[in-house]
């Protein structure tokens, strides 16, 4: 049997099997789906399964719902995703208004174009979650595809160890880049990923309170923060930058294990030094079962300014 003989496993399957009746095919709204994508966590129909297989198992690993065995982790993963509708809310968050999705009777070419746009090019995913490659495109592929390979996703090719939620709280005494003020916004960069806040016009002490999300690869470097002044007619001016060392938080979290099993305690500390931009030592805390760290940074390469962020770390494999 696909679920083995473990009774607990059977129970888990029954708990989420209602998805089979209330969630339609991820792409084509087809309610007959004998297949699943094990690494995306959605159910797919026969017609879409062929396209999923063509993009490679590193992006979508197609398996039979009834014939292939389910592992305990695969069941937990499907439950955590929350069904096809929840997955669509993420993967189609930036679907253009009026965009015509494939339907059960769509031509295979239309179906293939849509699925590849969703997964290989990540055209409809929230920009802060997109993983893009900087490699130059192949001339032959570029001739047949209006998108260069530099916009193709490496998701699935990179092993991620966790998710970093960064709440950009605000800035103080930022530098003037216009006549008497600035229109600041914050850009976060981690590897090939970028995420940014909204622009706050005419304010040197802006309050954003905006949350940005980044995936952390196994080989990660510092989180780079830049404050820029938005300009309508010329290139945006740099208002300062700084780097955040993620190691104190990630290493501390790994040492203490599942934060949900801990009380509210301090588990680590990033110390202020001449080699970093900290205004004061920054404690790594477990609060309400979550690993968090608040950091205030003195902006570098500018005349003045500080920015405060609060980070939350969620390990993918505890």
> Tens of pLDDT along 213-228?
998 888 899 999 999 9
For residue 228, give every residue at least 6 positions away whose Cβ sits within 8 Å of its Cβ, in sequence order, or none: 184, 185, 186, 187, 236, 237, 238, 239
The domains located in the chain, with CATH, are 7-120 (1.10.220.150), 160-315 (2.60.40.150)
Least confident window among 25-39, 86-100, 175-189, 231-245: 25-39
> Per-residue pLDDT for 7 more than 80?
no
From 298, 91, 58, 28, select the one nearest 174 (Cα to Cα).
298
Cβ atoms of 219 and 225 within 8 Å: the answer is no
pLDDT class of 205 with cuts at 50, 70, 90: very high
Task: Give the C-alpha separation, 173 to 204, whole Å.
Answer: 6
More confident residue, 308 or 72: 308
Task: Give the C-alpha separation, 134 to 151, whole Å.
Answer: 8
> Tokens 């339907």 label which residue?
103
Average pLDDT over residues 300-316: 96
Task: Give the C-alpha separation, 26 to 268, whole Å.
Answer: 42
Give the model's pLDDT for residue 8. 55
Kindly state the percentage of the chain with pLDDT values over 70: 79
Kindly state the percentage of the chain with pLDDT values over 90: 41
pLDDT, tens only, 49-84: 888 888 888 888 888 887 888 787 777 777 777 777
Cα-based distances in Å from 49 to 30, 62, 88: 12, 7, 17
pLDDT class of 155 with cuts at 50, 70, 90: very low
pLDDT class of 1 with cuts at 50, 70, 90: very low
Q: Could you tell me the two tokens for 270? A: 């990033």
């Amino acid at each position: 049997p696909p679920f083995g003989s473990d009774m607990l496993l059977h129970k888990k399957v029954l708990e989420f099997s209602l998805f089979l009746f209330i969630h339609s095919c991820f792409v084509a709204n087809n309610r007959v789906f004998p297949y699943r994508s094990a690494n995306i966590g959605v159910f797919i129909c026969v017609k879409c399964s062929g396209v999923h297989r063509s993009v490679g198992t590193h992006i979508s690993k197609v398996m039979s719902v009834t014939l292939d065995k389910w592992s305990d982790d695969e069941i937990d993963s499907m439950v955590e995703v929350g069904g096809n509708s929840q997955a669509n809310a993420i993967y189609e968050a930036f679907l253009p208004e009026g965009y015509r999705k494939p339907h059960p009777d769509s031509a295979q070419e239309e179906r293939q174009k849509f699925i590849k746009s969703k997964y290989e090019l990540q055209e409809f995913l929230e920009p802060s979650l997109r993983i893009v490659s900087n490699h130059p495109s192949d001339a032959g592929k570029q001739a047949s595809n209006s998108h260069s390979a530099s916009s193709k996703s490496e998701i699935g090719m990179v092993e991620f160890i966790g998710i970093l939620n960064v709440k950009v709280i605000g800035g103080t005494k930022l530098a003037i880049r216009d006549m008497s003020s600035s229109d600041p916004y914050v850009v976060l960069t981690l590897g090939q990923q970028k995420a940014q806040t909204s622009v706050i016009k005419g304010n040197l002490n802006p309050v954003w309170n905006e949350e940005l999300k980044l995936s952390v690869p196994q080989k990660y470097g510092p989180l780079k923060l830049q404050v820029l002044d938005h300009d309508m007619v010329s290139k945006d001016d740099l208002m300062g930058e700084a780097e955040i060392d993620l190691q104190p938080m990630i290493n501390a979290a790994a040492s203490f294990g599942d934060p949900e099993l801990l009380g509210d305690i301090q588990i680590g500390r990033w110390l202020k030094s001449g080699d970093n931009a900290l205004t004061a030592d920054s404690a790594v805390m477990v609060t309400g079962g979550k690993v968090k760290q608040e950091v205030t940074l003195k902006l570098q390469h500018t005349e003045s300014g500080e920015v405060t962020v609060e980070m939350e770390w969620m390990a993918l494999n505890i």
